[in-house]
Amino acid sequence: SFTGLRIGSATAKGLAFALDKPILSIPTVDALAYNLCGHRDLVCPVMDARRNQTYTGLYRFDGNQMQVIKEQCAVDICEIIAEINHIGSPVVFLGDGVPVFRPYISENISVPYSFAPPHLNRQRAGAVAALAVQYYIEGKMIKGSEHRPEYLRLSQAEREKMEKEHAAG
């Protein structure tokens, strides 16, 4: 939700200013991947972004250390499956997009794959907190004044405005 992200981001920024504390941003897709911390296979979160698009990324784990192979992004499901096929490693999928994209994945994936169990398919506060600890150790804090929400695509209102401007121009 764009509005939810804006509200949460503004709240964090306000608290950071008031308390003179840094902000630690945890990308949603990264946090979802961290549900499978320590997994041996490539980890691919898939969140349904509608219109055959997914919010996704690719991750590997070395113990508790997460390696980002592909940063979170919004792409057509065929693009991320093609990239996984190109990498050629076994992969595990998780996220609310699994039920939506499962048929496409099953028909188009050419590497060994699996799906995370249902209890790991949604955001989990514990995974967010554990990843925050890792990011803190890595020094990924920023000043409140530097914080900006990271949108993976334009909101529907912004897309419609651009379409109107493009049609008029």
Q: What is the mean pLDDT of each run of 10 residues along the chain (169 residues)?
A: 76 88 90 96 95 93 93 95 98 96 97 96 92 92 80 59 70
* pLDDT tens-place string over residues 14-38: 888 899 999 998 888 999 999 999 9
* Cβ density class 106-118: b for 16+ within 10 Å, e for less: eeebeeebebbee
* Residue 153 neighbours by CB under 8 Å, 6+ apart: 49, 53, 74
Determine whether 26 is exposed, middle or buried from the number of CB atoms within 10 Å of its CB (0-12, 13-18, 19+): middle
